[in-house]
Chain A
Amino acid sequence: MTHHQDERSRQSIAWLALGAVAVTGLVGASVLTRQPMARHDADSAPGRTARQMRYGRFAVVGRTVTIHRPRDEVYRFWRDPSNLPTIMDHVAAITEQNNDLWTWQLDAPAGMTVHLETEIVSDRPGSEIAWKSTEASQVRTQGKVMFSDAPGDRGTEVEAIIAYTPVLGELGRLIAKLAGKDPETQGRRALKRLKMLLETGEIATSRNQREPEAPTAKAAESQQA
């Protein structure tokens, strides 16, 4: 890892914090791409949906879901770390060091546990929570979740974006994806569970037995709102 590459990554993750539009702009900035590409005017779509994406060492994933609940309620749910393991099946526990500093215990592929420590870097009640990993963290990641009013009385649009450095690089990213343990799959499923829990008060399951059949199955699936 050269100093130069590291610098690029830092730049790209800093850009990410500026939001989807900035990320779209970033894609076009040839200094951050390995292969120069033709420059077109950025369209209206989120940067993560670009056909060609280069964020240096960082993988960037994101997803938007519409939840028929008020913005403040969805925000408050996400702001309370004790709620999140219920919707994130890869999160074993979150410990709150202080209001902004959280320690996460993550289930990683091959039965490993990863410690993640995040600091909330932006907190705008009802509209945005952004976080980034601290120096003490085992993984480098940065993300944010944005809340906005959905059109036509449909509730709240929740958009989550996560940038991370895959364990074992690109190969690790592919392995995790095949196992359904990549942040994209995990994030998408977490948002769907959030929607289920807030809209219906429960998380759908087809199990018809209270005790999980497999010992690894997550007790959170049966937890009540």
Chain B
Amino acid sequence: MRALTWHGTKDVRVDTVPDPQIVNPRDAIIEITSTAICGSDLHLYNGLIPGVLPGDILGHEFMGRVVDVGPGSTLSVGDRVVVPFTISCGACFFCRHDLFSACDNSNPVDTQEVTEAQFGHAMAGLFGYSHLTGGYPGGQAQYARVPFSDVGPIVIPEGLSDDQVLFLSDILPTGWMAAENAKIEPGDTVAVWGCGPVGLFAIQSALLMGAETVIAIDHHSRRLDLARSLGAKVIDFRQTRVLEALTEMTGGIGPDAVIDAVGMESHGFVTDTILDKAKQALGLPYDAAHALREAIMACRKGGRISVPGVYGGLTQMFPMGAIMQKGLELRTGQTHVQRYLQPLLRRIEEGEIDTTFLISHHLSLEDAPKGYHNFLNHQDEWIKVVLKPH
């Protein structure tokens, strides 16, 4: 089959590799009909995530048709499914408590030890990401092996297009969980840093959850336009002093909840970013956390911080004093995708959530390297890329 593989920093290629096979009883093989490039794929593309090896197949947002099943799968050949990016066994303590992205049993034993040393506990398995999360071949390919196929994939009824449901695999539930973690109450103002796909879905979700006002912060005009079209007020951080503006726009109180949908590659022409970037350039494991610091400073006393943005290392100059003194609550985590699939699919079917507005480009799988390049370098135009492998 053809698959998008990683060969080094800013070097991804489409190679011919062996077709996947059923290996374990609960596996299924999916023929992929649509697969997207995620913002977190750019962290791999930029070489910021350790444990990615040449030849690794990337991609963790994919869907398709079941073409083969093991004896323990509950899927049938021909089923049309969306596959969550988190691999979850459904049986361990964490899966039984709906903490699917904390699954104990999906990361193979020999790849658990690095994150045990780095984070104190091993991470779950993820598709198409680092070997720290299992090194599972990803979905930017014509086929993929899906372990625990009786727990992860959701069967999609006919009548819904790929573009309507593909983002159930990651970014829609991620935006939803980001808003849920912000514990929104009626009348709340929610500020969202980053109007990439997750930020935009977080804005949409926050409004559905009853936020009175959502304020979106970015610097790409097209992305700010999309935020505005969803019903958000916007701040362009190149024009405006964000902290001061947020205080003024909330009657001096500050946002009730803040969402960092930027993560470890935060921009901003400020001292802390320059220092963070210098450390990353030296290969030191420090995340650029400007958006998070600013969000913490902006948040009202007793407010909530939600962090869907990806971090992988250490954060310097972390304003713990502001969190403690203002009594803030911080909630974050890889998305427990399986928890949100059914309710979000229902909202899509009922027309309450539309995800297709996000897609700026459809490309063939063969053009995926071009997609990576443009998604990184032309973020104002390239909002979301969907690849068609067949």
A residues at B contact (CB < 8 Å): 66, 68, 154, 180, 185, 189, 192-193, 195-196, 199-210, 222, 224-225
The reply on B110 being an interface residue by CB < 8 A is yes
- CB contacts (< 8 Å) of B90 on chain A: these are 200
Nearest-CB distance from B311 to chain A (Å)?
A: 23
The reply on B24 being an interface residue by CB < 8 A is yes
Contacts A66-B93, A68-B91, A154-B93; A202 near B111 (Cβ below 8 A):
no
The reply on B39 being an interface residue by CB < 8 A is no
Nearest-CB distance from A217 to chain B (Å)?
A: 11
The one of A66, A196, A204, A210 that contacts B22, using a Cβ cutoff of 8 Å: A210
A68 CA to B112 CA, complexed, in Å: 19
A133 CA to B106 CA, complexed, in Å: 35
- CB contacts (< 8 Å) of B125 on chain A: these are 204, 206
Given A199-B91, A201-B25, A202-B25, 5 extra CB contacts under 8 A: A199-B89, A199-B104, A200-B91, A205-B24, A225-B25
The one of B18, B96, B105 that contacts A200, using a Cβ cutoff of 8 Å: B105
Contacts A68-B93, A195-B104, A206-B137; A200 near B148 (Cβ below 8 A):
yes
CB-based contact A199/B23 at 8 Å? no
- CB contacts (< 8 Å) of B110 on chain A: these are 180, 189
> A204 — nearest CB in chain B belongs to which residue?
B108
Can you report 9 residue pairs joining A to B where beta carbons are below 8 Å apart?
A: A68-B96, A154-B93, A185-B113, A192-B109, A196-B105, A200-B26, A201-B26, A206-B135, A222-B24
- CB contacts (< 8 Å) of A204 on chain B: these are 24, 89, 105-109, 125, 134, 147
- CB contacts (< 8 Å) of B135 on chain A: these are 206
Counting contact residues on chain B (CB < 8 A from A), the size range is 20 to 34
A204 CA to B133 CA, complexed, in Å: 12
CB-based contact B108/A208 at 8 Å? no
Contacts A209-B20, A222-B23, A224-B25; A200 near B89 (Cβ below 8 A):
yes
Nearest-CB distance from A66 to chain B (Å)?
A: 7
Contact with A along B53-90 (1 / 0, CB 8 A): 00000000000000000001000000000000000011
Q: Which of A154, A192, A222 has the most CB of B within 10 A?
A: A192
A196 CA to B104 CA, complexed, in Å: 8
The reply on B92 being an interface residue by CB < 8 A is yes
A42 CA to B137 CA, complexed, in Å: 48
- CB contacts (< 8 Å) of B137 on chain A: these are 206, 208
CB-based contact B23/A207 at 8 Å? yes
Q: Which of A203, A208, A224 has the most CB of B within 10 A?
A: A208
Nearest-CB distance from B89 to chain A (Å)?
A: 4
CB-based contact A206/B134 at 8 Å? yes
A-B pairs with the 8 shortest C-beta distances?
A208-B20, A208-B145, A202-B24, A189-B109, A192-B109, A199-B91, A200-B89, A206-B136
> A69 — nearest CB in chain B belongs to which residue?
B91
